[in-house]
Amino acid sequence: MRRLFIFDYDDTLANHPMYNSVAFKLPVRILPPLGGLIKGASEVLDHIVSRGDRLHLLTMNVMMDEASKWEKMDHFGASRWFDRDNVTMVRRKTPETMIRICRGFRKDRCYMVGNSFKHDIGPALEAGINAIYIPRPKLKRIFGGKLPDNERLIVLKDIGEILDIYDEL
């Protein structure tokens, strides 16, 4: 049976989210976009697709309007894997949203991949799906406590490690 991988965008797939959100939000392009996809992200996304598994992007859309968010994602090449059929933009990530995205898949075949325990991992675990936590950047690695002991939680150092554990998922 196929699997579904739900990815967070900012700081999980793309670098410099705050700076780029401001750069793309300005009416006149005075700041150049920085960064791009995080090292290893395109290889992981390509691998998931090549294995016949599905991708979905769940991103919070708080600072930008939807058109600017799409422009930002297109600029960094996310449109190669994500389009309006497999992207959900929300003000807040909730377990209910994740359950809705996972419709048609068994919960044990769904994986939320993100860098924020509060916004990505916590709601995924509450929804009863698997979570791959990649805390970054360094300033955000402080969870504020001990990670819960949960068999559905996998903690990795970088996105490329998904390739190392893929067959075990």
The strand order across the sheet containing 54-60 reads 87-90, 54-60, 4-7, 110-114, 130-133, 153-155
Task: Sketch out the chain's domains with CATH numbers.
Answer: 4-168 (3.40.50.1000)
Residue 67: per-residue pLDDT: 79
Measured between alpha carbons, how far is 15 from 38 in angstroms, rounded to an integer? 6
pTM beyond cutoff 0.75: yes
SS (HEC) of the chain: CCCEEEECCECCCECCHHHHHHHHHCCCCCCCCCCCECCCHHHHHHHHHHCCCEEEEEEECCCCCHHHHHHHHHHCCHHHCCCCCCEEEECCCCHHHHHHHCCCCCHHHEEEEECCHHHHHHHHHHHCCEEEECCCCHHHCCCCCCCCCCCCEEECCCCCHHHHHHHHC
| 15-67 pLDDT, tens digit each | 756 544 555 565 666 655 566 788 999 999 999 999 999 999 999 876 667 77
For residues 145 and 35, which has the higher predicted lDDT (pLDDT)? 35
Query: What's the pLDDT tens digit per position in 63-103?
Result: 667 777 787 788 778 889 999 899 999 999 999 999 999 99
pLDDT tens-digit map of 110-120: 999 999 999 99
Q: Determine the Cα–Cα distance for residues 72 and 24; give it in Å rounded to an integer.
A: 6
**What is the predicted pLDDT for the residue at 70?**
81
**Can you read off the two tokens belonging to residue 1?**
């049976």
